[in-house]
Amino acid sequence: MAPEPLSRDDFVASYKTLLRNIIDRNPSGLRLRLAKELSTHKSFISQITNPADATPIPVKHLAALFRLCHFTADEERLFMTSYQGAHPNRAPKLVGQDEEEIRFKTIKVEVPVLADKSKQQALERYVANFARNLRHFV
């Protein structure tokens, strides 16, 4: 008798479990850094790392997760395999799946330090969003 194929919820639980384990092995404060980077709350980070919660991780957050959580190449591949199983119509292609590899480079950008904290955060979000949107030119 063949095993039952994995369901969408099984794939979601798989990638969320992997993400939770990676975050847990990193230094404390990573959840807060993720929340700031993703312009969200720590409760959202708890939600996207809870295997029992079927809420998907938005595609737009994947690059930041890989960068901040220091996924190994094998972990990233395993994560993306589960992510594609859960969201076949939304998931980005894995490198080597009849798609040219898109490579990224991290650069450092200096911005002015503003007296108003909320304006500073808005400026930093603007620059980060601008950089993320550059992928549309590839």
Per-position pLDDT tens, the chain of length 138: 656 778 888 999 999 999 999 999 988 889 999 999 999 999 999 999 999 998 889 988 988 898 889 888 889 889 999 999 998 887 665 544 444 455 666 778 888 999 999 999 888 888 877 877 776 555
User: Cβ distance 49 to 34 under 8 Å?
Assistant: no
Burial of 123: CB neighbours in 10 Å, binned 0-12, 13-18, 19+: middle
User: Cβ distance 16 to 49 under 8 Å?
Assistant: yes
Distance in angstroms (rounded) separating the CA atoms of residues 126 and 4:
45
Domain ranges of the chain: 8-102, 104-138
Provide the CATH number for the domain formed by 8-102 in this structure.
1.10.260
Q: Select from 67, 18, 70 the least CA-distant residue to 38.
A: 67
> How many CB atoms are located within 10 Å of the residue 5 CB?
7
